[in-house]
Amino acid sequence: MRRFDVNQLPTGSYSISGSFSGSFLGDGSELTGIIATSASFSTTASYVNPLRQTVELTGSLNITGSTLQVGNNTLLGNTTLSGSIIISGSLGTSSPTVRIYGDTTHNGYIRFDPVTTNINTSISASYIYVSGSTNDLYFAQNGSGYGNVTRLRWLEGNLYTGLLNGGLITATNGTTVYNISSGSGIIVDLNTSLIDNPYPTIEYVNWGNITNIPITLTGSYDQTFVGIGTGGNVVTQGTPFYDGQIDTQIPIGIVLHQNHLNINGVKTQPSVAYGWKQRSNVFISAFGPLKLSGFTLAVSASSTGSLVVGSGTAFQDGANYPLNPDNPSYVTDPGTNVSKIFRYHQSGSNWVYDTNAAAGYGAIDPTQYSLNGVLTPVPTNDWTIQRVYYFTNSVTKAIVVYYGNAHYKTELDAIANLNIEPFTEAPNTAANAVYLGALIVRYNADFNTAASFKIIPGGLFRAIGGSGGGGGSVTQILSGLSDVSITSPTDGQPLAYNASTLKWNNTSSITADLIGNASTATSASFALSGNGIFSGSFSGSFQGDGSELTGIVSASFASTASYATQAVSASYAPTSVTSTVIYSDTTVVTVTGTTAETLIASVPIPTDIGESILRSSFVVVVTTLGGAAPRTRMRIGTIANPSSAQLASQTVLGTNAVGSANAVSMYRTMPIIGGASGDIKSIAAGSNINADYGILTTYTITPVDWTTQQYIYFTIVNNTTAAVTSCYGVLVEQLNT
């Protein structure tokens, strides 16, 4: 080791290796290559700026003040940077000048300021930035030949108002207050515009337990609908939240107070802000596959019972995925010209799938129906309803035909029961098949005999009777009516009724007895001694006194008429009256063991009813009097199926007491003026009479808004539990002039 005395002033260049002590004078510009691997730098030492050599530092380094690093800087180990740190680099370059490698942790938020630049889409990478033109956050990604840019607003536009958690409604029955548990939700205002993208605003609502909320709507409503609004405030109303209300407040349930005094029940039933697809799956599965177009069900040419299916389209969730993942639920199917029929019916809680060992049958089986799960011969001349389904995009191309569950005397009876016959669909067709329609078939149906079957096409929705449904097509042509059969029609053909087929047929000839002794138009005459019956219309004139002309409606027999020699100027035609049966039921219903008013029938009245008369018959037999007179009663109201308690508040149209064990027919003819400000004239509410207006001196005019659905209720009240009273039929007709 060489030591320099402090008084020595060395000049020139020196190369020093090893270690030394002391100090150097000068600016240190000529000191190069100095490396200190373990030295401690005194905090009071002065260092010449700039430091222009390579320095490797190990251990801890504390830097205060401003620093400027130029060139490449590599920081190894743990580095803590505090205060304001500005890192700048170049924008829009293919090789960014600021790079961070490895995992990073941020304690605090990251702010993105708006930038105006173009992303290099040739690089496979993802970006997050705020646009300088819209001030909105964007997500961009490039790769695999695709470049996508997604705006945050677009994602926010898929949020919707609803509950996130909590919000349970509780109450003690018999009290007048309820509680809402703590919870949270969001209220989304989509803030849409015709000239700009939606700019959703989202309010996060958070509330604590809300207790002892009083019910305030008991005087006017049976229930209170409860929601949470802006700021976590409780919102209540007597009617359901509807339309835009569910966008501005969060429905969470209802509080029941049906006695209009205190609470008798609560129900939490919120609109939630999450899981739309999961919830819509339940809705979609309730409908099953839906026929959108086509899939026409037809008989195979010259066959006795074979079926074919035309091409069509359908909605079936996920069924088209193997063919087109971009459109997984829109199904296109060519149909089938092969009659491969699987026969289904329910047996108890199980299903019988008769596939003929997967080969199917070539024809339907009209000879049997399912009687409580047992295939039973259809009685001679009776009809059944067979429902038909088809598996779209199926490898089997099978047509499923369900046996009927009842039999009917006529084709018309079967058609009338199509939507009310008890029927439950098997799980595999409910999930995988479209409904094609219904076959109305006679016990010996032959598809070569038109009078032995009828096809009623299915509509968009599944037409399932008993358990609900609907959707059968509505005919737009005369030949589509169930009691009309048109074959090769020609000009001028009339319809004639065929009593053997119970249908109207087109025909070129009519055979009928004619009654009368008049000669008609100049080019045709009827024998004076003959009788003739005319139906339809005719032109020409009659000769004679017209005494044999009967049944002519709306004709005026004026003295100037060419065919009436003895007529005067009065009109002889009676007013035409039409009768429409609104309701008819001959089911026997027996009431005993109760003194509560029992509903026998609830008859809906057409909402478009005009000036007319309601004629009703209520046939009742008292077999056991029980010591006090039972009563039959008619009421009117707007509840489809009222309870005994609700019946008591409905308007009475008439009452009849049966004081002896015999039959009573409660007969009423009640004039009506229809419309929103209409009324019904009935026997006085307190009357007790089994007769019509002929022997009454008073009646009641009851105001009725007929445009709102009204119901006529037929009820029986036994005054003792021992009484036995039976209804044998209810008939309601509408008479119009």
- Count structural domains, the chain: 4
Phi, psi dihedrals of residue 735, rounded to the nearest 5°: -105, 125
Is 452 in a helix, a strand, or coil?
helix
Same domain, 171 and 125: no
Looking at 674-709, which runs of residues are DSSP E strands?
Answer: 678-683, 699-704
Same domain, 267 and 392: no
Same domain, 266 and 123: no
Looking at residue 525, its pLDDT comes to 43
Phi, psi dihedrals of residue 285, rounded to the nearest 5°: -65, -25
Tokens, residue 4:
């320099």
Same domain, 238 and 172: yes
Same domain, 237 and 336: no
> Considering the domain boundaries, does residue 557 fall inside one?
no
Q: Are the beta carbons of 417 and 385 closer than 8 angstroms?
A: yes
Q: Are the beta carbons of 56 and 35 closer than 8 angstroms?
A: yes
Q: What Rg value do the Cα atoms of the chain yield, rounded?
A: 45
Sign of CA dihedral 596, 597, 601, 603: negative
Q: How far is Cα 652 from Cα 629, in angstroms, rounded to an integer?
A: 18
Same domain, 366 and 394: yes
State the DSSP H helix or E strand holding residue 245, giving kind and residue range, or none if neither: helix 245-248
> Considering the domain boundaries, does residue 10 fall inside one?
no
> Considering the domain boundaries, does residue 672 fall inside one?
yes
Same domain, 600 and 675: yes
> Considering the domain boundaries, does residue 627 fall inside one?
yes
Q: What is the amino acid identity at position 561?
A: A
Partners of 131 in the beta sheet? Answer: 115
| Predicted confidence (pLDDT) per residue in 289-322, tens digit | 889 999 999 998 777 899 999 999 999 888 899 9
Same domain, 211 and 315: no
Distances (CA, A) of 374 to 345, 400, 403, 424: 9, 18, 11, 15
Q: Where a domain ends, among 474, 493, 509?
A: 474
State the DSSP H helix or E strand holding residue 226, giving kind and residue range, or none if neither: strand 223-228
Same domain, 146 and 186: no
Q: Are the beta carbons of 216 and 260 closer than 8 angstroms?
A: no
CATH number for the domain harbouring residue 630: 2.60.120
Q: How far is Cα 354 from Cα 713, in angstroms, rounded to an integer?
A: 46
> Considering the domain boundaries, does residue 243 fall inside one?
yes
Q: How far is Cα 680 from Cα 158, in angstroms, rounded to an integer?
A: 52
Same domain, 123 and 222: no
Same domain, 134 and 198: no
Range of the domain at 247: 162-274
Q: Where a domain ends, among 274, 307, 331?
A: 274
Q: How far is Cα 188 from Cα 200, in angstroms, rounded to an integer?
A: 7
Is 283 in a helix, a strand, or coil?
helix
Q: For the residues of 146-211, what is the DSSP string, one character each?
A: EEEEEEHHHHHTT---EEEEE--EEE-TTSSEEEE--EEEEEEE----SSS----EEEEEEE--EE
Looking at residue 569, its pLDDT comes to 42
Same domain, 718 and 627: yes
> Considering the domain boundaries, does residue 574 fall inside one?
no
Q: Are the beta carbons of 138 and 130 closer than 8 angstroms?
A: yes
DSSP alpha helix (H) spans, 479-581: none
CA nearest neighbour of 181 among 60, 268, 62, 67: 268
> Considering the domain boundaries, does residue 407 fall inside one?
yes
Full-model pTM: 0.53
> Considering the domain boundaries, does residue 103 fall inside one?
no
pLDDT along the chain (737 residues), means of 10: 47 55 58 50 52 65 70 71 75 72 84 84 84 88 83 89 95 95 94 90 95 92 95 94 89 95 94 88 85 91 87 91 91 92 92 92 94 94 94 89 94 90 89 92 91 89 46 54 79 83 80 54 43 52 56 44 41 62 91 91 91 88 82 90 88 81 76 87 62 54 90 91 90 85
Q: Where a domain ends, among 422, 454, 474?
A: 474
